[in-house]
Amino acid sequence: MRIGFIGLGIMGSPMAKHLLDAGHHLFVRTRSKVPAELAGATVCASPAEVARAADIVFLMLPDTPDVEKVLFAEDGVAHGLSAGKTVVDMSSISPIETKAFAQRINDLGCDYLDAPVSGGEVGAKAGSLTIMVGGAVATFEKVKPLLALMGKNITLVGGNGDGQTTKVANQIIVALNIAAVGEALLFASKAGADPEKVRSALMGGFAASRVLEVHGERMIKRTFNPGFRIALHQKDLGLALAGAKAIGVSLPQTASAAQLMQACASNGWGQLDHSALVKSLELLAAHAVAEG
């Protein structure tokens, strides 16, 4: 197939590579150098040019304004679309704005899926992402074989916007788990126990989780190179709190996690992996989980 991909970042590049490796003709647009592993792709001058060349256009961008600009700016995707084409936004953005974007694309005679992902850089490289999809059933079935090249757990949740709502829910759960693991390991460490042995013991009980397994190890080994940056997770929690305000829901624990991430950002740690949320807890305790 003729596929467009816009957003070749930490996750976008390996996702696009899976499509290219499957034999599809890939059209890309990036402001930076095209990664070596995507050397077989055709580089386009604008998002509109990508849309003119491709039948399905994937987006993997940082935030809502980025998606809006790529879609609807003067040289945006919308200006290169023709009836029958499909846009698949795999970014994590506002569910409310997503519904508006989808309607504008539908008005052009084109289909739209919101299909945000979870799994980080590791999942993107392994092709094992969890993909949460919102949109029409027929469009989902058409695009699903391509999504299957990038992910394993692929679910059509509902209509446009529902994929993004699911991703926000995912980010709430992950953030609160990171905070919980950080507090637990910090408590154990300051009490004099070996945090690595505590983590190993907990992995065999009801407290076991992927966050404890992966991010607990990061907290102990101090390996905070980004798989998913604090700044991006902070953005996602902002979407959660804005959405909660709009629908009249209180999310006190989400607000607490957002403040811990804000403390990290204020100390210049916004580009670290989101497991570095523990650093804000360590500041409050005047104690680090581990040396390093």
Q: List residues with catalytic annotation.
A: 167
Tell whether the model's pLDDT for residue 161 goes beyond 80. yes
CA distance 156 to 173: 20
> Residue 84 carries which side chain, given as an amino acid letter?
G
> Residue 169 carries which side chain, given as an amino acid letter?
A
Select from 146, 115, 121, 124 the least CA-distant residue to 23. Answer: 146
pTM: predicted TM-score of the whole model, two decimal places? 0.92
CA distance 215 to 275: 5
Structure tokens given for 123: 């999942």
Instruction: Output the CA–CA distances (angstroms, integers) from residue 124 to 147, 150, 225, in the order listed.
Output: 11, 7, 16
Structure tokens given for 176: 């609160």
CA distance 285 to 186: 8
Note the pLDDT tens digit of each residue in 100-153: 999 999 999 999 999 999 998 889 999 999 999 999 999 999 999 999 999 999
Note the pLDDT tens digit of each residue in 269-288: 999 999 999 999 999 999 99
